[in-house]
Amino acid sequence: MLVKFKQMDYMSSKILENICYIYLATDSLVPEAVNKCTEYIVNNHQNVIGFNAEKILYLCYYLAYYPINADKFLGVVIDTIIRDQERLSGLVFLQSALALCFFNKLPSSFIKQIFTVEFMDKLDAELASCYSRETYPQRVRNCLMQLNRAVCLEYPEYNVPWFHKKYVDEIERKYMIPESEIQFPLRIKDYLTEVAGNAGGVEDNVITPYGYHIDFVVSLDRNDQVVNSRSEDVNRRIAILLLRPYCYTRFYSHPKGKYQHKKRHLEMLGYEVSMVKFTEWINLLYAEERLEFLSDLIWPKKVENCTGNSRATKR
């Protein structure tokens, strides 16, 4: 059923809504079907409401998919959302801004409108009378936090303050699970320390400015030798992110938008980022394989000239 959508010759707003709902619920990416939805928005923009335009925009962000007609599609979506913004909920408007930020298309007018006392008061009033007080306020707050972080990093010229530090600290304390408590003990830090030869150069559960969590960070000097993370000789920091299966799209598999956005932001913060499939790690049976795998993450130049190594081509 999920794949059959790409074979449809007919498209409507109702079908578009169904596709968005199903693909979001199942993390499924079928490019042909998503392209049909974006083409429908472009060709029928005068009759499409902002609510539906945001749905397909957010789907593209969620699945980290750049449609074939991206520039035209994003331009139409921006115009449609501006036209209908008075009828959109706060969450829909925030999600559209976050998605546009991911695609580097966020209009300055959105930033100036959202980060104002008036808009925050409007959000508060909406949350006070929302339909689902158990989930909706949390969704709004989390989306606002992500947008606040993205604007601080990607649009510093607007001087938007970071006002979610307390919120992300609370989230970390509530949800962060130590490696020792994971169902399948990974012992990754033990292997990393063995590869690095310097326990002080390997950190785990690192929290960055703006509240990003990094599984492991390895610090290197100018000679690519591992050094203590607090040393003045640190020249590069390698951030290693363990991505569980739910971090990837289905059918056409790659990290979802949230994780690709995180990678971009960590690079802005000065990290070199390696994204590791959780399943790829646990499928390594022998210690030698695991040590070699981690060594390739820290010193990728060692594998750049090795033809046939899939990890070399991915980085």
* pLDDT tens-digit map of 78-130: 999 999 999 999 999 999 999 999 999 999 999 999 999 999 999 999 999 98
Q: Are residues 216 and 303 in the same domain?
A: yes
Q: Are residues 106 and 193 in the same domain?
A: no
pLDDT at 185: 41
Give the tens place of pLDDT for each residue, 299-315: 986 444 443 443 333 33
pLDDT at 1: 53
Instruction: Work out how many domains the chain is built from and give that number.
Output: 2
Of the listed ranges 122-131, 168-177, 228-237, 256-265, the least confidently predicted one is 168-177
pLDDT at 184: 44
Per-position b or e across 111-147, b if 16+ CB within 10 A of its CB:
beebbeeebeeebeeebeebeeeeebbeebbbbbbbb
The secondary element (H helix, E strand) that includes residue 238 is: strand 236-243
Tokens 């008036």 locate to 118
Whether 52 is covered by a domain: the verdict is yes
Higher per-residue pLDDT: 242 or 171: 242
Domain of 229?
Answer: 180-314
Q: Are residues 119 and 263 in the same domain?
A: no
- In this structure, what token pair is assigned to residue 249? 């799209």
Full 3-state SS string of 2-28: CCHHHHCCCCCHHHHHHHHHHHHHHCE
Whether 70 is covered by a domain: the verdict is yes
Q: Are residues 123 and 189 in the same domain?
A: no
